[in-house]
Amino acid sequence: MALCLKQVFNKDKTFRPRKKFEPGTQRFELYKKAQASLKSGLDLKAVVQLPPGESINDWIAVHVVDFFNRINLIYGTMSEYCTERSCPIMSGGLKYEYRWQDDSKYKKPTKLSAPQYMCMLMDWIEMLINNEDIFPTRIGVPFPKQFQQVCTKILTRLFRVFVHVYIHHFDSIINMGAEAHVNTCYKHFYYFIREFSLIDHRELEPLVRMPWRGEGEGEGVGWAQHSWVWAGAGL
């Protein structure tokens, strides 16, 4: 999948520089193991499972960074179609609106355009994954107690990028010939967050009726019928 994504999307249009793993570290070895499994054509449900003997926090950290890189690449290429005029509100159709809160500049849930929301999101994630107190890279340094909680918040917000791109820019995905690659990336993300119960099931409702999902995949078929306004940092 990684090779396909790079062929379809313009790596020069990433929103933020790719976060790389330091060669020789355990995190780098886990990343290589995960990538090898992806390229081998294994079932994605099996690919996301924790390898025997490995730390769950290391496994989650590797995937959070990798998903950030992939989604950053996807949206960076799509961003020319996502403008202040076309997307004045960060939303997933008429039923879902996402507001931004970061306890810094935006202390209360604030309505932003999709491009503004994406900029705030990528800056915020980049700050977190580069913070050694949250994503330690030195050998012997433990993860903080709130690590998985932070990852849940990151992954929840990254999921909203998929929601916006699928609902508002799917025609552009098709025109780029990228549908299969974006679907694969999303399926990998979806199976990972479900494997470790990392996102509240309510957040998944906008995409519960994805066309690639067959029988037995879980939450049914078709678009959800509820209206929500998510408060960003609250989840």
Q: Is 185 annotated as a binding residue?
A: no
Q: Is 63 annotated as a binding residue?
A: no
For 185-222, the pLDDT digits (tens) are: 899 999 999 999 999 999 999 988 655 433 344 442 23
For 47-104, the pLDDT digits (tens) are: 899 999 989 999 999 999 999 999 998 998 888 999 999 999 999 988 899 999 998 8
Burial status of residue 71 (CB atoms within 10 A of its CB: 0-12, 13-18, 19 or more): buried
Q: Is 151 annotated as a binding residue?
A: no
**pTM, whole model, 2 decimals?**
0.79
* Dihedral class, residue 96 (left if φ above 0, else alpha if ψ from -120 to 50, else beta): beta
Q: Is 169 annotated as a binding residue?
A: yes
For 148-162, the pLDDT digits (tens) are: 999 999 999 999 999
Among residues 154, 164, 165, 163, the alpha carbon closest in space to that of 235 is found at: 154
Rounded to 10 deg, the angle between the 147-175 and 179-195 helix axes is 160
The answer to whether 60 and 129 have CB atoms below 8 angstroms apart is no
